[in-house]
Amino acid sequence: MPEPADPGTGVPLCASSDLAEGGRAVLFDVLEHGQPLRAFVLRVDGQLVAYLNRCAHVPVEMDWQEGEFLDGDRRYIVCSIHGATYEPSDGYCIAGPCGGARLKAVRVAERDGQVSWYPSADIRPAFGAASTPSSP
Ligand code: FES
């Protein structure tokens, strides 16, 4: 489960009401070690959980429709490609071809009806990326 975070340094993400229990995820763009990819936040069992949208089996996005990560019972995160199944609370693979690996968590928190995410040393906001000038 992502650690609690200081609500003073987060990146605003969405309203709390945008994340229904067991509902569709909100996706957001990040840079991991400078590489662009997407992350997602869900509400499951009353908790917000957020991970990079990258399967631990093959590094591809997992949602079967945009923002749809949960199984039919709205209990587990399931990769749409080969069915890897992850425990939402900690991102561990519990079934399928992901071999006990885990999803990479992103820290999130909500306060006063606002959900924010928290950059780390290796996951940064995409909008803060500096462009790399090309050499002449
Ligand atoms: S790519 Fe996700 S289970 Fe294979």
Measured from the CB, is residue 95 less than 6 Å from ligand 1? no
pLDDT at 132: 39
Measured from the CB, is residue 84 less than 6 Å from ligand 1? yes
Q: For residue 74, what are the CA distances in angstroms to 12, 63, 65, 113?
A: 25, 13, 14, 23
CATH architecture designation of domain 7-125 = 3-layer Sandwich (2.102)
Query: Vertex 75, ends 69 and 80: CA angle to 5°?
Result: 30
Contact at 8 Å (CB) between 30 and 37?
Answer: yes
Measured from the CB, is residue 60 less than 6 Å from ligand 1? yes
**DSSP collapsed to 3 states, 21-84:** ECCCCEEEEEEECCEEEEEEEEEECCEEEEEECCCCCCCCCCCCECCECECCCCCCEECCCCCC
Best residue among 76, 78, 79 to mutate for probing ligand 1's pocket (most ligand atoms within 8 Å of CB) is 79
pLDDT at 71: 97
Which ligand 1 atom is the nearest neighbour of the CA of 80?
2
Which ligand 1 atom is the nearest neighbour of the CA of 82?
3
Q: What gap in Å lies between CA 96 and CA 94, rounded to an integer?
A: 7
**pLDDT averaged per 10 residues in sequence order, the chain, 136 residues:** 54 97 97 96 97 97 97 97 97 94 97 96 78 38
pLDDT at 100: 86
pLDDT at 8: 52
pLDDT at 28: 97
Which ligand 1 atom is the nearest neighbour of the CA of 55?
2
> Residue 31: is it exposed, middle or buried by C-beta count within 10 angstroms (0-12/13-18/19+)?
middle
Q: pTM of the predicted model, to two decimals?
A: 0.88
Q: What gap in Å lies between CA 99 and CA 27, rounded to an integer?
A: 25
